[in-house]
Amino acid sequence: MEGDGCNTAKRTGGAWAFAAAAYTLFVLLASSNLPTPLYHLYQARFGTSPLAISLVFSVYAAALISALLLAGPLSDRFGRRRVMLPACLLAMAGLAVFATADGVGDLILARVLQGLAVGAAAGPLTAALVELEPCGNRPQAALVSTTASLGGLAVGPLLSGVLAHGATEPPAAPFLAGLVLLLSAAVAAALLPDGRRTTGPSGRRALRLAQVPRPARSAFALSGASVFLAFAAAGLFLSLVPGYLLAALGSSDLRVAAAAPSLMLACSLGAQFPLRAKPPLGLQSAGLALLAVGLGLLALGGVEPSLIVLLAASALAGGGHGLTFLGSLTEVARSAPPDRRAETLSLFYVLVYLGFGLPTVGVGLLAAQLGLPIAVQLFVGVVGAASLVQIGVLRRVRRPWTAVPGAGEAVERPARPSRRR
């Protein structure tokens, strides 16, 4: 089993580096979400339209995905630290632009810098966590990675909201606090081991787009489909479900609107800890089942308005999201060749962010034509049905734990069907 032979000296010696990598990932993602509660202040100050704010969001995603495609191979080639440090500096530059923003152009520039920073660091930092886990426990490394990622995304807006409470103009305080945190993260990243460095095959270019390595393609396709569905649901809950909930209940209480995404994220984190040792494909199946039930309750709560039903939908969908994310990340990290781990994980995060953004944009366009309640119910029907189909696919390839000679850890292998004579 993973973690066998882990002695106290090894655990103590590697724990600080593992914690430093997790802290850096947490801070980078928290800093990227600091502007979230402040956009309405920027919109009022600059007199911009909602379309301009949407553009600010879209350039972030474009920059992030571009960086994911390039940074993974660079990290595998030249080492983790050489990618992490520039990422921290880009994130700091983004916050500095936000703190001094004087127009929509500044907001766009700041979000581009933040997108490049997160995209450059997400894959390498996740790979570093896998490599630095003191006992070589990859499920534990995946759990810490998902916790740091989701925790950072949740803490960023909370910290910004607290520091900006009562402000009528976009404040600088959240970004100054973020700069301090990023400086400490940069110091932590500078002290990390450089990780795996490869020269690659003869003639391989240093700068190239990421590709899924052949040994990881099956696991990547299988788990990539699962995580795409999970983040499609998460994107809906964090963007359009608050409005859907208020419309269903006939309420204008923003505390009620905030309850759904907050509960969803809390349950996503909470569900991962008690089940972290389960096989990754089993986690995905269980997570997608919870996700489908949660989406079904979300549709029901819109037809027969009930706050309890809608909050139960948020809790179940959140738990399903967390288990699916953990199982998918564990499976992809396990299948990635060590010399191309950051490249593979960077592509995994491309699917995460595509799932988070593209379906939600589609629902928004559909809502403009049909109304938000109908658009959300169509979405949950499609994603719920796709989740059930994906469970069927996972069960067909579900695998028993088997030891791979020389791997030093438990790995799942496809069970070959028996042949009748």
Question: Based on the structure, what is the number of domains in the chain?
Answer: 2
- Residue 182, in any domain of the structure: yes
What confidence score (pLDDT) does residue 54 get? 64
219 and 178 in a single domain? The answer is no
Q: What backbone torsions phi and psi does residue 170 show, to the nearest 5 degrees?
A: -55, 115
375 and 242 in a single domain? The answer is yes
- Residue 3, in any domain of the structure: no
- Residue 351, in any domain of the structure: yes
- Residue 201, in any domain of the structure: no
What confidence score (pLDDT) does residue 300 get? 93
Domain end, chosen from 193, 225, 242, is at: 193
- Residue 414, in any domain of the structure: no
251 and 151 in a single domain? The answer is no
What are the mean pLDDT values of the chain's consecutive 10-residue runs (421 residues total)?
50 76 93 83 78 74 86 76 90 95 91 93 86 83 87 84 79 93 93 63 54 86 95 86 83 72 87 86 95 95 89 94 93 86 84 84 82 90 96 79 36 45 41
Domain holding 388, by residue range, is 212-402
What confidence score (pLDDT) does residue 8 get? 52
101 and 180 in a single domain? The answer is yes
17 and 149 in a single domain? The answer is yes
Between CA 185 and CA 118 the distance in angstroms is: 13
The CATH number assigned to the domain holding 355 equals 1.20.1250.20
First to last CA, the chain: 35
What confidence score (pLDDT) does residue 407 get? 37
Q: Identify the CA nearest to 319 among candidates 266, 247, 277, 397.
A: 266
224 and 138 in a single domain? The answer is no
160 and 227 in a single domain? The answer is no
What confidence score (pLDDT) does residue 308 get? 92
What confidence score (pLDDT) does residue 33 get? 86
What confidence score (pLDDT) does residue 13 get? 52
- Residue 419, in any domain of the structure: no
Is residue 256 within 8 A of residue 246, CB to CB? The reply is: yes
Domain end, chosen from 151, 166, 193, is at: 193
What confidence score (pLDDT) does residue 181 get? 96
What is the number of other CB atoms lying within 10 angstroms of the CB of residue 309? 17
144 and 243 in a single domain? The answer is no
